[in-house]
Structures are given as C-alpha cells and as structure tokens.
C-alpha cells in the first residue's frame, strides 16, 4: 500500500508522516518513508520548483512508488502534490493507494513558515511558491480529509487519526 500525504508546505506532512511510518513499522518492516524534500536530493539534478520541475518530480515519485509497490514494499509518502493527474495515476497503478489531504488554512501555514518561503514570496523574493503564485488544487478523491479543528491538533493526535483510518497492512517481513 502507498499512503500518500498531500498538503501545502508547512501543513505537517513530514512531521506526521514520519510518526505514522514509525508506528506502522512496529508491525510491518517492509515499509519506507519517502519525503519529497529527500527525494529531490536523491535525484541529484534538482528539478526545481517551477510547475514543470514539480511535474517531473511528481512523475518520478509516482513511478518510484509503483516500483516499490510492485515488489511488496509499502510506503508513506509526504509530498506537496499539486497534480490531480498524478494522483489519478497513483490510484490506477498502485495495488492499494490511500490518500490523505491535510487541509490546513493558508494563514496557518504562513504563520508557521519554517522554511521562510511564504514570507519571501510575499516580499517578492521567491517565486514558484504553491498557495501564493502557484495555485493549489485540493485533491479530488482523498480517502481521508483532515480539516480544522482536527488538522490543527498536536501531531501525535493527527497521526493517530490516520492510523485509525488506514486499512490494515500485511504483517510481512
């Protein structure tokens, strides 16, 4: 199963995704955690954050997950994910796909802004920021939508909500 976490930068995908992956690994060792930021380093050629670069990144991540899935490896994937067509591809090609949307208001992620990208975008120093000059399209068919107030709870509570909603994974080694 590929568990796919979607949301704006600062929505909590990585923080919560790591907790979810760690908890699932207690019963299921054949599971990897894939973070959009880590994968950009893995590719090495940095596709960039333009719409074209993001599309290439999305294509690569979906194909990597497909490869893992076809060999029985589960993944928790934290990725901004602005392309409905790649989300549809995931649903068509993965053996099991569970999509979670972190519907966090823009004002909340702007207030968090750990990477400083929203402030830089507002000041005109940064381009290609999703939610500011690149529109964010909410996923059309998410299996779980986390909205306020629950998506603003402590990260452990959000992780528990996800774990409660997930179909069970095989106990494979």
Ligand X SMILES: Nc1ncnc2c1ncn2[C@@H]1O[C@H](COP(=O)(O)OP(=O)(O)OP(=O)(O)O)[C@@H](O)[C@H]1O
How far lies 108's CA from each of 25, 28, 130, in Å? Answer: 30, 34, 14
Q: For ligand X, give the closer residue by CB, 95 or 137.
A: 137
Binding test (CB under 6 A) with ligand X, winner from 3, 4, 6, 13: 13
8-state DSSP, 167: P
Residues of 76-94 as b/e, b for ≥16 C-beta within 10 angstroms? bbbbbbbbeebbebbbeeb
57 binds Mg ion (CB under 5 A): no
> Which residue's Cβ has the minimum distance to ligand X?
12
* 9 included as an active-site residue: no
62 lies in the binding site for Mg ion (CB under 5 A)? no
Site for Mg ion in 4-33 (CB under 5 A): 14
Q: Is there a cis peptide before residue 56, judged by omega within 30 degrees of 0?
A: no
By CB under 6 A, is residue 82 in contact with ligand X? no
Residues in the chain: 173
Q: Could you say whether residue 49 binds ligand X (CB under 6 A)? A: no
Point out which residues bind Mg ion (CB under 5 A). 14
């Amino acid at each position: 199963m590929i568990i796919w976490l979607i949301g704006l930068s600062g929505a909590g995908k990585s923080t919560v995704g790591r907790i979810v992956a760690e908890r699932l690994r207690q019963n299921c060792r054949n599971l990897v955690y894939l973070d959009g930021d880590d994968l950009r380093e893995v590719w090495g050629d940095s596709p960039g954050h333009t719409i074209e670069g993001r599309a290439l990144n999305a294509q690569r991540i979906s194909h990597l997950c497909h490869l893992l899935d076809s060999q029985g490896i589960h993944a928790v994937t934290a990725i901004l994910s602005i392309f409905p067509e790649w989300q549809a591809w995931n649903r068509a090609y993965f053996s099991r796909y569970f999509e979670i949307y972190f519907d966090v208001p823009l004002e909340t992620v702007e207030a968090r802004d750990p990477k400083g990208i929203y402030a830089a975008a507002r000041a005109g120093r940064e381009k290609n920021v999703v939610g500011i000059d690149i529109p964010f399209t909410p996923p059309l068919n998410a299996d779980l939508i986390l909205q306020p107030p629950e998506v603003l709870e402590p990260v452990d509570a959000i992780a528990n909500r996800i774990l409660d909603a997930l179909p069970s994974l095989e106990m494979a080694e």
